[in-house]
Amino acid sequence: MLVAHLLGCGGPDAPRDAGAAPTWRDALGPTEAATDATDGAVPPPEVDLVPFLAGEFHRVYTPPDGRYLNDHTVLPGPDGRWHLLGITDESTGNPWGEESFLHATANDLLGPWTPQPDALRGEPSQGEGCCVWAPHVVRLDAGTYVMFYTTPQGGTGQRRATSPDLQGWTRVAVDRDEARRPPGGRDGFLLRDGDRWLLYSTGVSADRRGQLVVTETREDPSETTSWSRPPRVVLEDPKPNYDWGNLESPFVVPYRGRYYLFTTRTGPGPSDYTRTYVFRSRVPERFAWEPITELRGHASEVVLAGGRMFVTSGGWTSALGERNRGLLVAPLAWAPAP
């Protein structure tokens, strides 16, 4: 298995703060740069590749008031700015205190970022009394944005909210019949694949093996109750772990005829919080437990900005340290598989 930090690439153990070093943007590189590291040769349309960090993680946004940024989503908005939404709290790490999603905007992915009013706050009347987790936002064809998120209260299934501008959000009514809600566990991720939408989330087997599962629909994902049931297992950890499942934050990247699944694999070790494994498949519904690389990041997402790919990281201050509190970004490149 190819481990990115052994290739001379830095990880989030010692990022450089955007506000402390004037050369950090140069280190990340121009957003117009190419994404492939293939000795100048352009890979064929379909080829097995391995992603790697093409530079160190740099902190590009530090939330005010000591808040951390955990699972998050980053995307361009209709106003021409980048929008960041994510789990937050003023502690150093408390899942039961994460009552809202922070929101920040920037003209450039690499900053500077400006804090905005929180995007969404848990609503007790909707069964969201203690916390809301893991927002993921995509833009639909009509220009509307849909957010998928979860809460440990109020029954099973994914929650949804919609927005025309990424500023104000309206909850989609939660169906009283749990069987009509978007099925799945924590950390939803929505991918458009042809004429269908694939909704990935976390799961766990009866013998405590962490899983990632997927359900699909061919209808408007912001409204439909028509999802494939039960969710299918996409990936399963061969080793039993926690009762709640140790695979988190799935993110799938279709690239050059393959699908690449990024997921955080947590565990009891001190460095397990920042283990992001990457898997490759020819189809998006099933990945064999054959990780092709490991990146040092937590709840990582892959972002395309100006024709170049970047990977993000964020998590609890208690696990990452104060220097890593906030949004971390590193350039992502691809090499031919050995």
Here the CATH number for the domain that contains residue 248 is 2.115.10.20
Task: Give the pLDDT confidence score for residue 22 in this predicted structure.
Answer: 30
Give the total number of structural domains in the chain.
1
55-93 pLDDT per residue, tens:
999 999 999 999 999 999 999 999 999 999 999 999 999
From the number of C-beta atoms within 10 Å of its C-beta (0-12, 13-18, 19+), residue 290 rates as exposed
| Partners of 85 in beta bridges | 73, 103
Residue 294 CA neighbour count, 13 Å, CB half: 15
Task: Give the pLDDT confidence score for residue 153 in this predicted structure.
Answer: 81
Do 333 and 309 form a contact (C-beta atoms < 8 A)? yes
**pTM for the full predicted model:** 0.89
Contacts of residue 130, defined as CB under 8 A and 6 or more positions apart, other chains included, come to: 96, 97, 99, 122, 151, 152, 153
Please calculate the CA angle 120-135-145 and round it to the nearest 5 degrees: 80
Residue-number span of the structural domain to which 70 is assigned: 2-336
Phi, psi of 273 (to 5 degrees): -65, -25
For the CA atoms of 118, 72, 63, 121, the dihedral, rounded to the nearest 10 degrees, stands at: 20
Which of 40-44, 124-128, 264-268, 282-286 is the least confident region?
Answer: 40-44
Distance CA 269, CA 285 (A): 30
8 pLDDT band (50/70/90 cuts)? very low
Distance CA 241, CA 48 (A): 30
Counting residues of the chain whose pLDDT is more than 90, the rounded percentage is: 77
Please calculate the CA angle 190-64-144 and round it to the nearest 5 degrees: 30
| Partners of 49 in beta bridges | 336
Q: Two tokens at 330?
A: 């590193």
Q: Tell me the average pLDDT across 293-301.
A: 98
Residue 7 CA neighbour count, 13 Å, CB half: 21
Do 184 and 213 form a contact (C-beta atoms < 8 A)? yes
Total Cβ atoms within 10 A of residue 263: 30
Report the relative pairing of strands 58-61 and 16-17 from DSSP bridges: parallel
Helix, strand or coil for residue 258?
Answer: strand
Task: Give the pLDDT confidence score for residue 43 in this predicted structure.
Answer: 56
Task: Give the pLDDT confidence score for residue 129 in this predicted structure.
Answer: 79
303 pLDDT band (50/70/90 cuts)? very high
Task: Give the pLDDT confidence score for residue 42 in this predicted structure.
Answer: 56
